[in-house]
Each structure stands twice: as C-alpha cells, then as structure tokens.
Amino acid sequence: MNDSPGWAAPGSPSDGQGSDAGRPAAQPSGTAPGEGTGSGEGTAPGAGSKWSAAQPPPGQWSSPAPGPAPQPAPNPQQRQNPGWGTQPGNPYPGGWDSTPPAAKPGVIPLRPLGLGEILDGAVSTLRGHWRPVLSVSLVVAALTQIVLLLVQRAWLDGLPVADEDLTRAQATEVMGNTALFYALQYFLEILGLLLITALLAPVVSRAVLGQASTVSGTLKAVRPLAPRMLALTGLLLLGSVAAVLLPMLPGILAGSALLTALGVPFGFVLLAWFYVTFALAPPALMLERGSAVTALKRSTKLVKGSWWRIFGISLLIWAIRTITAMVIVTPFVGVALLAAPEGLTSLFNGSAAPSWAFLIISAIGGVVGATVTVPMQTGVTTLLYIDQRIRREALDLELARAAGLDGYGATSPADRPAG
C-alpha cells in the first residue's frame, strides 16, 4: 500500500504498480506481446503481469507537431460564471475563498470592522437610539459643566487685574493656578467621558443586536453595576493623574521649574499610553459584569497587539468631536459676548470672562456640544471593544445567537485570526 500521508501526487503509481515486480521484461523490436523472448515460451496475459495483451501498434505514439498547441473548446459554464474557481450552483461568486456576506442585525456587520464601519455604527447608534443616548449624555454633561463653572468663577476671582504690575512670585502663582484649572478641566472631561462610555455601553450593545433601548431600561441595566462603575472611574481618574504627575515629580520635589516643565511632555505621552491601554475597561465592566480590576485586566488583554490601531482611531474621533463641539459652541460664545456688561468691548479689555452672564451662556453651549459629540466617541470605544472580541474571541457567533440568527457561523470566514 502507499504510505504517503493524506494523498499521493497525480500520476504516482498505486498499489503494486509502482514496483518492477510483475512487470514484463522489455520486448525485442518486432516481437508481439505474449511471444517468448528467446526461449520460445509465451506469457499468458495476466500471468504475473498487469499489462493488457492488447497493445497499440508501434509508432502510434508520436511527439506533437511543432507549432501552437491546440486550445480546448471554451466551456459555456465558465462564460456564464466568470471568476477563478467559480462552480455551478455556487451562490457566492468570486472563487474558492469567497465567503457569505456577514449578517447585520443592527448597526454593524458581525465580522471584524473597518474604520468606516466603526464610525458609521457610532453615528447610527446616536441617530437610532437618540432618546437614551442624549438623556444620559445630557445629565453627565450638565453636572460636569456646573462643577467647571463654579471652579472657573473661583479661579477668575483670584486673578489679578490686567493692568496690575506682578512680582515674579505672583506671576508664578498665577501660572500655577491657571495650569491647575486647565488640568482640572481636562480631568473633568475624562471623567465625563468614562461615565458616559460605561452608561451607554448597554445601549450600544443592544443597537448591535438590532434591539431598541429605553431610558428606563438603560438605568435598570446600569443600576446593579453602579458601585463597580464608580470604583472603576475612580481608579482610572487616579491613574490618569498619576500618569501626568509622575514624570514631573522629580522637578516638583527639587523645586526646579525647568525640570518640571521638561517632564510635562513625558507626562502627556504616559497619559496617552494609559488612556489607550485601559480605554476598553468601561464597556468590559458593563457588558461582562466583572469587577473593576477584572475590567482593567480585560482591557489590557484586548488592547495588546492593537495599541496603535486603537490609538489612531481614538485620536481621529477625538479630533472630529473637538471640531464639531467648537462649531456648536461658537454661536453661544457670540451670544455670551453680546450679553456681557460692556458688550463686544469686553472682549478686548478682558471684563467679559468674570461676568456670570458670559459664564452661564458659555456653559450652556458646552453642555449642548458635549451632549451631541461625546456619545460619538463613547460609541466608537464600545464598538472597538466589540471589534476586538470579534477578532480574538469570535464574539460574532455569540452576537448572532443573541440576535436570533439561526445557522449563522456554520462556515467561518477563512481569514478570521485564531482566538
């Protein structure tokens, strides 16, 4: 028997035919098959040989004549089904590697996603489930802007008059207070982003399945996980602060302003690494219902090997969100300037900023801008979490079963990475 594993090459001998045993000896020229080779004894057909007694006459097998080789007649079936390897009755033309199109029960197809599909899924979630999305985003944005408004008012009251001569110590104090104010504003924005991401993760997951969401249903799903969500938010906020301050700590301890300033860019680099590494923790907590520490570990595992991809997508959506928010807030700032005590003149002498009218109208613009734009970024983050699990854990099969798609995944995509 042939011992080759799996299959033999085309044209290779089969059982017993590949050896010389039992093969008749070469016949002399002019000797008919079955005649003796010199002893006068004939060999009966089939006796010790598998060669047929009926052989073609000599000279019938000749080499092809010189010239172009004849072409086979075209197959009508191939003309009807163009493409490499397309078979009759195959409903998915395109070759042997063609796969059925992915099912799309909701806002995204159930397969690894591209950038455009992620952005489209986030916008579709906002448009199709706007009631719970805007309700949650509005409450968190309003609370964030109220805190920021009070802090900004206190900070502006502490600033010296514009025409006042400042000593070096006073100028240093003003610069330090200003840096603290903008740092607080930044971390409040991160806090609101984390909270909205966690609160809207159930809404995005239901949108992926093509299911509707309500405000009451969203709150019911979030309520049991509220303590863990707050714990995770606190850990991420403390980690963000530590990431920024750690490179500046040597300069702060040494009392060197130069050394502290040199640590600022390293702090932002470390903050970017921290944010991307743990960006998927809020949706992991809400959709897997683990602890805060488990969610941090899950985010680290899912981001590993895809850090730059997640960083690029997050940076792009952040830029889009920032530009969109500026477009929304700008008319409110114009109205705030007109409502200031001195009108547009206050823009040049700096008297508009401390007025309550200017601060309140600007805060309203900030609430509107955050309410509309922040869900875009939180939706992208949750879809990135789902995309990473589809790529590594075949989550699309679980989503298809949850969406009620029978028989989905019977033939897995050939290019799916191993889990």
Assess if residue 237 is contained within a domain: yes
Please give the share of the chain, as a percent, with pLDDT higher than 70: 66
Q: Would you say residue 205 has pLDDT above 50?
A: yes
Assess if residue 41 is contained within a domain: no
Take residue 322 and report the two structure tokens written for it: 């920032």
Q: How many CB atoms lie within 10 A of CB 291?
A: 13
Helix, strand, or coil (residue 418) = coil
Most confident among 45-54, 119-128, 162-171 (mean pLDDT): 119-128
Please give the share of the chain, as a percent, with pLDDT higher than 90: 45
Rounded-to-10 torsion of CA 195, 201, 204, 206: -140
How sure is the predictor about 335, in pLDDT bands with cuts at 50, 70 and 90? confident
Q: Would you say residue 323 has pLDDT above 50?
A: yes
Take residue 47 and report the two structure tokens written for it: 């006796």
Judge whether 240 and 190 are in contact, CB under 8 Å. Answer: yes
Helix, strand, or coil (residue 54) = coil
Answer positive or negative: Cα dihedral of 288, 294, 295, 301: negative
Assess if residue 44 is contained within a domain: no
Assessment of whether the complete model's pTM goes beyond 0.75: no
Assess if residue 162 is contained within a domain: yes
Give residue 26's identity as a one-letter amino acid code: A
Assess if residue 191 is contained within a domain: yes
Residue with tokens 């679980």: 398
DSSP state of 44: -
How sure is the predictor about 53, in pLDDT bands with cuts at 50, 70 and 90? low
pLDDT digits (tens, 9 = 90+) for 371-399: 999 999 999 999 999 999 999 999 999 99
Contacts of 284 (CB under 8 A, 6+ apart): 290, 294, 295, 298, 299, 302, 385
Answer positive or negative: Cα dihedral of 365, 369, 372, 378: negative
CA distance 389 to 395: 6
Assess if residue 258 is contained within a domain: yes
Compute the average pLDDT of residues 192-196: 91
DSSP state of 10: T
How sure is the predictor about 338, in pLDDT bands with cuts at 50, 70 and 90? confident
Can you give the residue range of the structural domain that contains 361?
Answer: 115-402
CA distance 166 to 178: 15
Judge whether 160 and 166 are in contact, CB under 8 Å. Answer: yes
CA distance 300 to 293: 11
How sure is the predictor about 88, in pLDDT bands with cuts at 50, 70 and 90? very low
Number of domains, the chain: 1
Predicted local distance difference test score (pLDDT) of residue 115? 94
pLDDT digits (tens, 9 = 90+) for 339-377: 776 666 655 555 555 678 888 888 999 999 999 999 999
Q: Would you say residue 138 has pLDDT above 70?
A: yes
How sure is the predictor about 326, in pLDDT bands with cuts at 50, 70 and 90? very high
Q: Alpha helices of 246-306 — where are they, by DSSP H?
A: 249-254, 257-277, 281-288, 292-303
